[in-house]
Structure 1
Amino acid sequence: MAKLLYSATMSLDGYIAGPGGDMSWLTEHLGTPNPTAARLVTRVGAVLAGNVTFGGDDPNKGTDKEGAFGGQYHGPVFVLTHRPPAEPVAGVTFVGDLQTAVAKAKAAAGDRYVNLLGANVARQCVEAGLLDEVLVFIAPVLLGDGVRLFDSPGGRRVRLEPLADESAHWYRVVR
């Protein structure tokens, strides 16, 4: 059965995007091969993104590396939004509520991961008790401001346990 995994590259001070969703800071940190990231791409069966992330800044825009996982992911994409576009987008399913989006993405993923993209959709999954794992790559930079990995003022404590991995911070949600 599919698991929900939130993976992101984060600055050392906790941001996954700069002010206004700027992702240009990430470009200089993307060229180095990472065995964990390479393995992950093969284990993702579906992507569930928030609408802001889906329509947002791509540090690889206009190159052959544009898209999820540096253009390496080619599978089902689900976007959680109350404002789907007027025209369909090839390969993308727009869904209006979290439970339905998660169910559709899990069905599409089979026994692989549903990779969450976007801090807002990840926060919603945490609040709904749906998140299974978190994988964080840390870039050696301090952004100072922007979109936090998790931002939930007044939110509840969620316990995590480390999963064995040498090149990233990967955790299982403790239930």
Structure 2
Amino acid sequence: MTGAVIWHMTMSLDGFIGDRDDKLDWSFAGGPSALGDEVIRTTGAFLCGGKRIEAVAENRPYGGVWTGPVFVYTRKDPATNPGPEFTYVSGDIRDVVRRGVEAAAGKNLVVTGGAVPRLALDAGLVDEIVLHIAPVLLGEGIRFYDSPGVDPTKLEVVTADGLNFRFKVLR
């Protein structure tokens, strides 16, 4: 069985995934959820960008509850890799996602951050979006999705539980 590619993210009510300083401490305001726990249980590999790695490197994906291969899509020097569980990757997003799916070994590949999920979605590689809305208004920061000039992506609501949502990406 092959897992799905899931864009997993927490967003402020006004649509930001990082505050003006790209900090994430506000994103835990909603607390744990059954949907978030399910995503963690079914994740086999994790893919994020170079900006997101600093937050992940400090806390490990999912606060250290989950362990597994973490791919960092970046142009940074691999020698600056923050730890042995992190693998710096570059190149075509299709190849990077394919490598992550293989590493997930039948479980899901989670993509997170700003640019990496957008690139994967725009390339038609994202199967689902799992989104948690934090009860906070940031006013400014890093937007959840910003991709001017692309055609709209249609989604189907699979789960809506409070401030937690699962969408299927329609192709």
Bigger shift: 86-95 or 122-131?
86-95
Q: Helix, strand or coil: the match of 1:154? A: coil
4+ long deviations beyond 6 Å: none
Q: Indicate the residue corresponding to 1:90 in structure 2.
A: 84
Distance 1:126 1:33, change over 3 A: closer
Residues 1:171 and 2:170 aligned together: no
Q: Indicate the residue corresponding to 2:12 in structure 1.
A: 11
CA contact (8 A) 1:3 1:133 kept: yes
CA contact (8 A) 1:2 1:112 kept: yes
User: How far has the Cα of 1:100 moved from its partner?
Assistant: 2.2
Return the alpha-carbon distance in structure 2 between the equivalents of residues 108 and 152 of structure 1.
28
CA contact (8 A) 1:79 1:101 kept: no
Q: Which runs of 5+ in 2 are unaligned?
A: none
Residues 1:114 and 2:97 aligned together: no
Q: TM-score, normalised by structure 2?
A: 0.89
The one-letter code matched in structure 2 to 1:93 is T
* Aligned length in residues: 167
User: How far has the Cα of 1:9 moved from its partner?
Assistant: 0.8
CA contact (8 A) 2:14 2:139 kept: yes
The one-letter code matched in structure 1 to 2:144 is L
CA contact (8 A) 2:94 2:125 kept: no
Q: Indicate the residue corresponding to 2:120 in structure 1.
A: 125
Aligned-CA RMSD value? 1.8
User: How far has the Cα of 1:165 moved from its partner?
Assistant: 4.6
The one-letter code matched in structure 2 to 1:52 is K
The one-letter code matched in structure 2 to 1:107 is E
User: How far has the Cα of 1:33 moved from its partner?
Assistant: 3.3
CA contact (8 A) 2:48 2:116 kept: yes
Q: Which runs of 5+ in 1 are unaligned?
A: none
Distance 1:126 1:85, change over 3 A: same
The one-letter code matched in structure 1 to 2:86 is V
Q: TM-score, normalised by structure 1?
A: 0.87
Superposed counterparts of 1:2-151, under 5 Å? 2-27=3-28, 29=29, 32-55=31-54, 57=55, 61=58, 66-88=59-81, 89-97=83-91, 98-151=93-146
Return the alpha-carbon distance in structure 2 between the equivalents of residues 39 and 108 of structure 1.
19
Q: Helix, strand or coil: the match of 1:126? A: helix
Aligned residues with identical type, % of pairs? 32
